[in-house]
Amino acid sequence: IGPEGAEALAETLKDNKSVELINLSRNYIGRDGTKALADALKVNQSVRQIDFQDSDIDVVGAKELAEALKINKSVKDINVTSNKIGPEGAEAFAEAVEINQSLKTIYLSSNGIGTKGAEALAYALRTNKSVELINLSRNYIGRDGTKALADALKVNQSVRQIDFQDSDIDVVGAKELAE
């Protein structure tokens, strides 16, 4: 649907009280479409699930979504797999995770969040009590990111599943997670 279609959908979502799932995977909504949808999510309280997998979301779009998640309390599941949010976008999501206590699942796979993004998310998970599943696969978080997440999981009581597939975790990182 591209950015224009996303902007049109966003206008409808501002007043809609029944839509619970938005799946725009592979629709390449880009920066403008993401901003419009994020603005709609600031007022919409019916949407429970968002799937923006492979939708051409960059760090600016990630920051817009994160700002919306700081306000929105209805979204439980968000999937932004295979976008380009990078470490800065992950940091923005981490800030939202610190504030938002309604999110249950977060898919950030294949976003190049790196060690810096993993460390930010780890910090947020220390205080968040709602996230149950977080997918960080294919992000190459490395030893330091793994250690930060392992330390966070020692105090976090809500996370039940965490996916580290193909995330550059070495033996030291695996031992940290096992402790």
b (16+ CB within 10 A) / e for 30-45: bbbbbbbbbbbbeebe
Residue 92 has pLDDT above 80, yes or no: yes
- pLDDT at site 178: 76
Q: What is the pLDDT of residues 24-76, one digit of tens each?
A: 999 999 999 999 999 999 999 999 999 999 999 999 999 999 999 999 999 99
- pLDDT at site 170: 78
Rounded-to-integer distance, Cα 105 and Cα 100, Å: 12
pTM, rounded to two decimals: 0.93
Cβ-based burial of 94 (10 A; exposed 0-12, middle 13-18, buried ≥19): buried
- pLDDT at site 70: 97
Q: What is the pLDDT of residues 108-151, one digit of tens each?
A: 999 999 999 999 999 999 999 999 999 999 998 988 999 999 99
Residue 87 has pLDDT above 90, yes or no: yes
Cβ-based burial of 131 (10 A; exposed 0-12, middle 13-18, buried ≥19): buried
Confidence of residue 167 (pLDDT cuts 50, 70, 90): confident
Rounded-to-integer distance, Cα 108 and Cα 139, Å: 8
Confidence of residue 169 (pLDDT cuts 50, 70, 90): confident
- pLDDT at site 16: 93
- pLDDT at site 28: 93
Residue 18 has pLDDT above 80, yes or no: yes
